[in-house]
Amino acid sequence: MSALLHIRSVLPESRIEAAIVLGSGLSGLTGLLTDTTTIPYHELEGFPGQSGRSHGVSGHGSDLVIGTMSGRRVAILTGREHYYENGNAAAMRPALETLAALGAKSLILTNSAGSLDPNIRPGDLMLLSDHINYAGMNPLIGEPGDRRFVNMVDCYDPGLRQKSIGISQSLGISLKEGIYLWYSGPSFETVAEIQMAIRLGANAVGMSTVPETIIARMLGLKVWACSAITNMGAGLSDENISHEHTKAMAVQGAEKLTKIIPALVEAL
């Protein structure tokens, strides 16, 4: 049975308005939903973690949770599949197509990232204004027809960005804004690669989000994306970069996202 049919069989009233993808250390945000239905990914054909060699990523959940946030029906993907898990840039496509088929018009993407910018510090949130696809992989390779030629200008919806800036100001939360560079991972960057990324004009570097944005734009979803900054890029500070550190530091970003996202969903 397709993921869509399975979801509809578990939850006949499964129409949603928006979908949210949670990054490393951010899975606590599911607590924001009421009236929830949880379906594990392994019951959903094509959802993350089902291709041969992918084993999930610690700090990431593996459930689809549908519930109510700020009076709207939304779906949360508690974890994602990254390109580095299996070499598949389109790994998130079946899940995103399913969310669009359930009615989602907006997609909220969260991730953890390393900062390249002295004004954007660990614990800060950085709204994505644009991205650089440095990994060079594209999830639409092999897609037939003209819809693959997706226009990526304003791929991070200017209206949603503006709304979220207003929301964070009224909540007294500082929200930085910048360009996210997608590095395939799973190894972290070298010091020289971080220097290159700075010269390319990026403000943060991370291992996700970009392929999801490309797929979502092809599907016609409005995208809002935000990085929880967990560290300075390699060589920019004395701290030791590790996945453990990423998960621990993401908690600070999660606390702020817990306040911003429900207000953004209300304002969609």
**Which residues sit at the interface with ligand HPA, rule CB under 6 A?**
112-114, 183, 188-189, 205-207, 230-231, 233, 241, 246
SS3 179: strand
Closest to ligand HPA by CB, 58 vs 169, is 58
Residue given tokens 């304003």 in the structure block: 154
Strand partners, 126: 176, 227
Report in angstroms how near the CB of residue 223 gets to ligand HPA at its nearest.
Answer: 19
Amino acid, single-letter form, for residue 62: S
Residue given tokens 């200017």 in the structure block: 158
User: Of all residues in this chain, which one has the CB nearest to ligand HPA in the complex?
Assistant: 114
- CB-CB contact of 75 with 44 (8 Å): no
Closest to ligand HPA by CB, 97 vs 212, is 212
The per-residue b/e assignment along 111-126, b for 16 or more CB within 10 angstroms, e otherwise, is bbbbbbbeebebbbbb
Sequence-separated (6 or more) residues with CB below 8 Å from residue 13: none
Six-digit token pair at 21? 């993808």
Report in angstroms how near the CB of residue 230 gets to ligand HPA at its nearest.
Answer: 5
Report in angstroms how near the CB of residue 200 gets to ligand HPA at its nearest.
Answer: 14
Amino acid, single-letter form, for residue 65: V
- CB-CB contact of 7 with 44 (8 Å): yes
- CB-CB contact of 10 with 239 (8 Å): no
Cα–Cα distances in Å, from 20 out to 77, 183, 185? 6, 22, 23
Closest to ligand HPA by CB, 34 vs 119, is 119
**What count of other Cβ atoms lies within 10 Å of the Cβ of residue 146?**
6
Closest to ligand HPA by CB, 110 vs 246, is 246
Report in angstroms how near the CB of residue 211 gets to ligand HPA at its nearest.
Answer: 14
Closest to ligand HPA by CB, 39 vs 202, is 202
Report in angstroms how near the CB of residue 155 gets to ligand HPA at its nearest.
Answer: 20
Report in angstroms how near the CB of residue 94 gets to ligand HPA at its nearest.
Answer: 24
Closest to ligand HPA by CB, 74 vs 210, is 210
Report in angstroms how near the CB of residue 30 gets to ligand HPA at its nearest.
Answer: 21
Closest to ligand HPA by CB, 239 vs 266, is 239
